[in-house]
Amino acid sequence: KILVVDYGSQYTQLLAKRIRDLGVFSEVVQFDDNISFNDVKGIVLSGGPDSVYDIDAPDISDEILNAELPILGICYGMQLMAKKLGGKVEQRGIAEYGKTKITITDQSLLFKKIPSTFNVWMSHKDMVTQVPEKFKITSLTSNNIISSFENETENIYGIQFHPEVRHTEFGIDILKNFVHGICGLKGSWTLMDFVENKIKEIRDTIGDKKAIIALSGGVDSSVAAVLTHRAIGNNLKAIFVNHGLLRMNEVEEVESTFRDYMGLNLTTVDAQERFLSKLKRVTDPEQKRKIIGEEFIRVFEQEAKKEKDCEYLIQGTIYSDVIESAKSGKKTFKIKSHHNVGGLPEDIDLKIVEPLKELFKDEVRSVGEILGLPREILYRHPFPGPGLAIRIIGEINEEKLTILKKVDSIFIKTLKETGWYDKVWQAFAVLIPVKTVGITGDKRSYGYVAALRSVDSVEGMTADWSKIPFEILDVVSSRITNEVEEITRVVYDISSKPPATIEWE
Ligand code: XMP
């Protein structure tokens, strides 16, 4: 495998993923971790926000330098090696950010089969101005700045740019030259190996003790649950909290998928009344979230306590849940609140296991496919933890919940029938409890407004409203007004994020 030593770059995990995509297992370690070199065939030093001259700049350990393994230093990693091995790193009043042209000036195994001039992605102020003794410069930028150096005999390579970023032309090829060529790894690793190793690892960690997981039916917790179930069988207890704010038939679907089809030891807790009574007369969205988050913890705690000698809590944390703390170069993990409703109890006396924490969403989905989870679960749109509570504007009651469930299910069903469900990132309906006039048959009616929202997005940080064809919106609208008598008017939300958010509350 390849070790990726993290110096705090926002691209570290991406780097690890790119190497895995080349069929070579890669693992991220922190620069000050105790590193085991077992099975390691190469080391990549990531970039980072520090300057090598900062007083508390993260360092490179002698163990790494003396491990006699090929090393590739990227950006900060390159500068760190330059300084450590006797070269010079300076600031010269110029910085290179973004697309930059470089020219190869000397032969290098790293640049095998790559044109002599190409564009790379840069992000640096500090630069290597003198390479260590016995090192040679292998490329320069159009500003005449050293963009790579190496010592082929020692197998040490440094590049100033980021090969992991898509904007770097031939970036993947450069990584491939390092991993397949210089490190000599064949590239036969697949996510199948990840699954096998993870199952073994979970089994070793948990042994014959018991574990619980809060299953939401979302992709991450589902994959984490099934993976852990493969490892420890029914010693994993999955808890599904029905807070009454779920979509039409959601409880039945989760139960049939996980209990009947996947064979999980699943308990559904019917906590509808608890949640709904706490939410009575509450109109403020943040207040709703807070109540649901807290109540969720209480319910989960109660269930956990019923389980004797349960020692572990499984969480479906994935890589994007990781918050980077740039300063120290150390990463801290946000506790993945069960469907992000606000966190799990802090005083709960359980050890946390996060089997998916190094994976990206697409890798999580592939793992799910390997484990035999149905597509409907793996390619589901995201659904917020507080559920329909934040899709009913203002006060929630059972009547409004019933209406919204019907409207939402018509919308989603139509999107699925027309092939649009998989084209958009997230789609749902919102109930606006404002009465407007309509006409049904010969009679005047007076009903609520339903808003349809569908967005295209990558991670939900920004979003565009989806350009669903009018004909389809037309079908949805008439189905809704025909089948849900409390709705007299249907509107389609054409705002993007920013300035609007995806959810209405
Ligand atoms: P916004 O509305 O902030 O939504 O643009 C971005 C994404 O986050 C989801 N979302 C939530 N998820 N708890 C969650 O677990 C929440 O309180 C919450 N609020 C918004 C939203 O569905 C979208 O995917």
pLDDT (0 to 100) of residue 461:
83
Ligand 1 contact, 343 CB (< 6 A): no
Residue 281 lies in a domain: yes
Query: By alpha-carbon position, which residue is closest to atom 6 of ligand 1?
Result: 460
pLDDT (0 to 100) of residue 80:
96
Residue 7 lies in a domain: yes
Q: Are residues 247 and 369 in the same domain?
A: yes
Residue 46 lies in a domain: yes
Please tell me the distance between residue 162's alpha carbon and the centre of ligand 1 in angstroms.
31
Which pairing describes strands 210-214 and 310-314: parallel, antiparallel, or unpaired? parallel
Query: Final residue of a domain: which of 378, 413, 433?
Result: 378
Query: By alpha-carbon position, which residue is closest to atom 12 of ligand 1?
Result: 384
**CATH number assigned to the domain comprising residue 362:** 3.40.50.620
Give the ipTM of the model, two decimals please: 0.99
Residue 384 lies in a domain: no
Instruction: Please give the number of the atom of ligand 1 that sits closest to the Cα of 463.
Output: 5
Q: Are residues 195 and 178 in the same domain?
A: no
Q: Are residues 219 and 177 in the same domain?
A: no
What DSSP assignment string belongs to 202-258?
HHHHHTTSEEEEE--SSHHHHHHHHHHHHHHGGGEEEEEEE-S-PPTTHHHHHHIII
pLDDT (0 to 100) of residue 345:
60
Instruction: Please give the number of the atom of ligand 1 that sits closest to the Cα of 339.
Output: 15
Task: Give this prediction's pTM.
Answer: 0.83
Query: Final residue of a domain: which of 378, 405, 421?
Result: 378
pLDDT (0 to 100) of residue 349:
77
Ligand 1 contact, 384 CB (< 6 A): yes
68 backbone φψ class: left, alpha, beta (φ>0; ψ -120 to 50): left
pLDDT (0 to 100) of residue 19:
96
Give the sign of the dihedral formed by CA 438, CA 440, CA 442, CA 446.
negative
**CATH number assigned to the domain comprising residue 438:** 3.30.300.10
Q: Are residues 282 and 306 in the same domain?
A: yes
Instruction: Please give the number of the atom of ligand 1 that sits closest to the Cα of 340.
Output: 15
pLDDT (0 to 100) of residue 326:
32
Q: Are residues 255 and 147 in the same domain?
A: no
Residue 165 lies in a domain: yes
pLDDT (0 to 100) of residue 343:
52
Q: Are residues 143 and 197 in the same domain?
A: no
Query: Final residue of a domain: which of 349, 378, 407?
Result: 378
pLDDT (0 to 100) of residue 323:
46
Catalytically active residues are 75, 162, 164
Which tens digits make up the pLDDT trace of 228-270?
999 999 999 999 999 999 999 999 999 999 999 999 999 999 9
Q: How far is CA 184 from CA 26, 111, 197, 441, 493, in A?
A: 14, 15, 22, 76, 53
Domains held by the chain: number: 3
Which residue range(s) make up the domain with 139? 2-182
Q: Are residues 218 and 140 in the same domain?
A: no
**In the chain, which stretches have pLDDT less than 50?**
323-342
